[in-house]
Amino acid sequence: MDFSKHPLFIGATAVAATIAIFHQYIVPIYEKQNNNTIIELTKDLNTARKELTESIEKNTNIQNDNKSKTATLTSRLESKIISLEASKTELEKKILQLQEEERFSAETPFPKGFRDIQIFDEYSKIPTTYKNSDYTEDSIFTSTEISDRLFSRITYYQFQCNETNLVRQVFFHFTSLYDTYKAENRDGPFPTDEEETKLSKKNNEALVKIFSDKYGNPISVKQGKTTFQTSEHTRAIIDDSGLIIFSQYNPISLSVSCLKEAKNKEIQESAASKKK
């Protein structure tokens, strides 16, 4: 049978082609449109902030009978600024979702480009995978800087399974404004704490939306941390600091499982040797 002519194959190919066209042509159009809107919103924000400053200054220099009118204008300008900032943040989030959605799949929570080492893989793969990178090594974890739009660093945590060290948890750190500032050797003032907080929340909310589309409703949302069940044995937590992918079993349970596996292997090898 020629599988290339099978309806399911043809349907799957058509879907794949549609996805490819969407990301190659449609996404850039959306990005451009939204970026243009953001530019206009930024202009409106700057104008509103300038008017607000002038209104406040004017309010301190006028007579009491006109102060109420100026105060009303100031209040309206403040409301306008809040609304414009909310619209701008929402558009930035949509752009981020469009840019990053293709990198994640329902098969694995690891983003494209960083799937060589996953949960329960051998920890010894890290030096060979990142042989051209500077990384920090500790008895518990290994951390390395990466070149990526959304993430600036990956940290791998290990546990010992009999004689082998395996990966138990992986932490993808969100890229901060300071990371970008440092990488681009910019001049001028450092990003403020408020700007960093806004970016972290935007990244958090965009990634939660992507994971909700891939894995369904989260199993837990508390104190800014959203947890998803990403497979039978793994979970992912998203918060303002980044993405954490981990084994849902605690180290003690994992150690017990490793001992059982080693014992079973020993029994099987013993039984095999007796048959010879």
pLDDT along the chain (276 residues), means of 10: 38 41 43 55 66 64 56 69 66 58 87 92 90 78 88 92 89 89 70 88 90 94 95 94 92 76 57 54
Give the per-residue pLDDT at 2.
42
Tell whether 115 is covered by a domain.
no
Quick one: CA torsion of 243, 247, 252, 255, rounded to 10 degrees? Answer: -130
| Same domain for 129 and 250 | yes
Give the per-residue pLDDT at 231.
92
| Same domain for 74 and 164 | no
Containing 209, the helix (H) or strand (E) segment is helix 193-215
Tell whether 114 is covered by a domain.
no
Give the per-residue pLDDT at 14.
44
| Same domain for 97 and 133 | no
188 phi-psi bin (left φ>0, alpha ψ -120 to 50, beta other): left
Contact predicate 203/243, CB 8 Å? no
Alpha carbons 206 and 178: distance in angstroms, whole number? 20
| Same domain for 46 and 129 | no
Give the per-residue pLDDT at 230.
96
Alpha carbons 113 and 100: distance in angstroms, whole number? 12
Alpha carbons 10 and 12: distance in angstroms, whole number? 6
Tokens found for residue 62: 């006028």
| Same domain for 94 and 23 | yes
Alpha carbons 190 and 196: distance in angstroms, whole number? 10
Contact predicate 91/109, CB 8 Å? no
Picking from 108, 124, 111, 149, the residue whose alpha carbon sits closest to that of residue 231 is 108
Contact predicate 170/246, CB 8 Å? yes
Give the per-residue pLDDT at 108.
92
Q: Determine the straight-line distance between the first and last CA of the chain, rounded to whole angstroms.
A: 45
220 phi-psi bin (left φ>0, alpha ψ -120 to 50, beta other): beta
Tell whether 117 is covered by a domain.
no
Tell whether 263 is covered by a domain.
no
| Same domain for 177 and 93 | no
* CA distance readout (Å), 144 to 31, 111, 157, 262: 30, 16, 12, 32
Contact predicate 106/241, CB 8 Å? no
Query: Number of folded domains in the chain?
Result: 2
Give the per-residue pLDDT at 98.
53
Tell whether 118 is covered by a domain.
no
Contact predicate 185/76, CB 8 Å? no
pTM > 0.75: no
Give the per-residue pLDDT at 156.
95
Three-state DSSP class for residue 226: strand
- Hey, how many other C-beta atoms are within 10 angstroms of the C-beta on 233? 12
Enclosing domain of residue 251: 125-256
